Amino acid sequence: MSLSQDTLAESIRKEAEKHYSDDPSHDWLHAERVCRMCMRICGEEGGDPKVLIAAALLHDVGMKYELEQGVDHSEKSVEIAKEILSRIGFPSEKISMVLEAIREHRFRKGVKAVSIESRILQDADRLDAMGAIGVARSFAHGGRRRIPMYSSGRGTGSTVDHFYEKLLKLKNSLNTETARRIAEERHAFMEEFLSRFLKEIEGEA
Ligand code: FE
């Protein structure tokens, strides 16, 4: 990161960190990891690094309001991001690129990301749901919502079910070649984790 990119990240942190949820699956640390992954992918795939830093650090800034008030977090994030970016003097001609990437990042909407920055942010966000981090976030999320870790029959909304319903499908939903490469190891780790976890449940390992 160049100095000006560091400065940008720091001014965003000062404004955005307080808005972030304390839910460990969507907190400020998640935004920072997504930002680092965006930079890594950007180094190989291109895109505007400043747009990506801003989009990554602000992409879930509205999550607290979704959890507390039930509003859509991507719309709320766009609203807060717009306000923060104008306040810190982010280049105004690039604000719409940031907001577009935030709007399009969401998994559930099945949104197809268009710009390179949107495609990279979506990939980085999905990669953060995979691998060891993905495992940790899933159980943190499940614990917070009192969801059982696993169930005796499948399909009852346990955290293990979430792996089969969403996380193990993520590697086939990525936009960039770089993310697909990084995803391979993360995917393999989740499969390894699950097979051991299921064996330990049965007392077989
Ligand atoms: Fe996210």
Banded pLDDT at 182 (limits 50, 70, 90): very high
Banded pLDDT at 1 (limits 50, 70, 90): very low
Q: For residue 122, how far is its CA from the centre of ligand 1 (angstroms)?
A: 8
Quick one: pLDDT at residue 72? Answer: 87
Quick one: pLDDT at residue 179? Answer: 98
Least confident window among 62-66, 119-123, 130-134, 173-177: 62-66
Q: For residue 154, how far is its CA from the centre of ligand 1 (angstroms)?
A: 27
Q: For residue 119, how far is its CA from the centre of ligand 1 (angstroms)?
A: 13
The answer as to CATH 1.20.1250.20 being correct for domain 5-201 is no
Q: For residue 170, how far is its CA from the centre of ligand 1 (angstroms)?
A: 14
The SS3 of residue 26 is: coil
Q: For residue 95, how far is its CA from the centre of ligand 1 (angstroms)?
A: 19
Q: For residue 173, how far is its CA from the centre of ligand 1 (angstroms)?
A: 15
Q: For residue 31, how far is its CA from the centre of ligand 1 (angstroms)?
A: 7
Lookup: tokens for 2: 């160049």
Nearest alpha-carbon partner for 15 in 66, 85, 114: 85
Q: For residue 33, how far is its CA from the centre of ligand 1 (angstroms)?
A: 10
Banded pLDDT at 68 (limits 50, 70, 90): confident
Mean pLDDT confidence for 38-62 = 97
Banded pLDDT at 114 (limits 50, 70, 90): confident
The SS3 of residue 65 is: helix
Asked whether the predicted pLDDT for residue 22 surpasses 50, the reply is yes
Average of per-residue pLDDT values in the chain: 93
Banded pLDDT at 155 (limits 50, 70, 90): low
Q: For residue 204, how far is its CA from the centre of ligand 1 (angstroms)?
A: 35
Nearest alpha-carbon partner for 81 in 97, 70, 69: 97
Banded pLDDT at 71 (limits 50, 70, 90): confident
Q: For residue 91, how far is its CA from the centre of ligand 1 (angstroms)?
A: 24
Q: For residue 106, how far is its CA from the centre of ligand 1 (angstroms)?
A: 8
Mean pLDDT confidence for 79-106 = 94
Q: For residue 153, how far is its CA from the centre of ligand 1 (angstroms)?
A: 30
Beta strand residue intervals within the chain, DSSP E: none
More confident residue, 155 or 147: 147
